[in-house]
Structure formats: structure tokens, C-alpha cells
């Protein structure tokens, strides 16, 4: 029976790298995959031309989803044309709850495993909609480890401004990398925000 997997972590834990490795493993064995990433992530495609790019420099092309994308229909349609062995979703925190249920139906009804990779919480420690739905219904939850500057497990994402000062308020989604976010343990996250 195929499963819906959720691999989650803070920033800099290697989520995209793990997705790309899983994709490589399927493809190396001659199995077709379908990769998805959030359309809201304007950082890609960059000079590499890839839609999913890891901080260590590897990447792959992918389909883009927005809140309006019917993932179920797109995946079933593609699978009817050429069998898909696995669906891999990067930036899964940006999925809607309805899209998470569409992915669950893909696993349940078509037998295609769905592997989702994303952040658990935003810069204020609140769950993203997609992450909340995945935490609620995924068959398998796997926490990937990121490391705080103190060496402890990083579980929080601190947003910083252009000069490195902590940001406490703002929109839940602001795309950025190491220039905008720091992966911290809860204690250093709290201390950074003076909580």
C-alpha cells in the first residue's frame, strides 16, 4: 500500500537535498517520478534552470503548484499517459489542506507513494496550512535535523531583516534563504525575540 510521507524540518536541514536524492534513487532504477514545487517560490529557476535547487548546488525541473492547482487531476492525468512510480513535493508547507487530501487520495487510490518535504512552522512558530494537514493525515512523519549555532537541534525559523535584526511581525510567507532566515533551537529563537 502506497503512503503519504511528510519530511519536515526548519530551514537548512537538507529537505530539498533529500527530495532530490529520493528522486535520483527512483530514476536510477528506471522508474518515472513527478516533482512539484510551490509557484510562490520565486528563487527558482535561477541560473541553473532548475525549479528545485538544493543549497548544496544540485537541482531538478519540477511542475509548479499554486493554491488553485488540482494536484489530483494533474497527477492522475500524467499517470494515465505514462506510469509514475512516485510523486515528490518540495515546499509542501505551501499546499492547501485540500491539496494534501488530493495527495492522500493519490496514495490511497492509485498506489503511488507521495513524498512531501517542507517546513513545519513559520517565523512566528505557527503551523503552515499544508504542514498542519500533513501532520494530521500523513502515514509517515519524518523530522529531518538542522543544527542551531549552539549545536542543538534547530526547530525554529527566525526571520531577520536586511541588517540581521529579528523580525517579529509580517506576512506568514516571505520567500528567502540564509539572507532572511536562521534555523535556531527554541531557546535561541526565544532569546532572539526577547520572549
Q: Let me know if 174 is a catalytic residue.
A: no
Catalytic residue selected from 68, 91, 143, 191 = 91
Q: Residue 166, class by beta-carbon neighbours within 10 Å (0-12 exposed, 13-18 middle, 19+ buried)? A: middle
Biggest CA pair distance of the chain: 55
**Dihedral angle over CA of 44, 120, 17, 137, nearest 10:** -110
Q: How far apart are CA 124 and CA 131, in angstroms?
A: 14
CA 90 and chain centroid, separation? 4
CB 51 within 8 A of CB 44: yes
CB 86 within 8 A of CB 22: yes
Q: How far apart are CA 3 and CA 76, in angstroms?
A: 16
Q: How far apart are CA 144 and CA 131, in angstroms?
A: 14
Q: How far apart are CA 36 and CA 63, in angstroms?
A: 5
* Active site amino acids: 91
Amino acid at each position: 500500500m502506497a503512503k503519504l510521507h511528510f519530511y519536515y524540518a526548519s530551514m537548512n536541514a537538507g529537505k530539498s537535498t533529500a527530495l532530490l536524492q529520493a528522486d535520483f534513487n527512483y530514476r536510477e532504477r528506471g522508474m518515472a517520478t513527478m516533482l512539484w514545487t510551490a509557484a510562490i517560490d520565486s528563487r527558482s529557476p535561477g541560473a541553473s534552470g532548475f525549479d528545485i535547487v538544493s543549497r548544496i548546488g544540485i537541482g531538478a525541473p519540477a511542475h509548479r503548484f499554486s493554491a488553485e492547482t488540482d494536484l489530483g487531476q494533474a497527477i492522475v492525468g500524467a499517470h494515465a499517459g505514462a506510469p509514475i512510480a512516485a510523486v515528490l513535493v518540495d515546499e509542501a508547507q505551501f499546499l492547501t489542506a485540500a491539496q494534501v487530501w488530493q495527495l492522500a487520495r493519490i496514495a490511497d487510490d492509485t498506489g503511488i507513494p507521495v513524498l512531501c518535504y517542507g517546513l513545519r512552522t513559520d517565523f512566528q512558530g505557527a503551523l503552515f496550512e499544508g504542514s498542519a494537514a500533513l501532520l494530521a493525515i500523513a502515514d509517515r512523519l519524518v523530522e529531518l535535523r538542522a543544527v542551531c549555532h549552539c549545536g542543538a537541534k534547530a526547530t525554529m525559523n527566525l526571520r531577520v531583516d536586511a541588517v540581521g535584526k529579528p523580525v517579529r511581525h509580517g506576512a506568514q510567507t516571505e520567500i528567502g534563504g540564509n539572507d532572511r532566515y536562521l534555523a535556531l533551537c527554541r531557546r535561541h529563537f526565544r532569546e532572539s525575540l526577547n520572549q
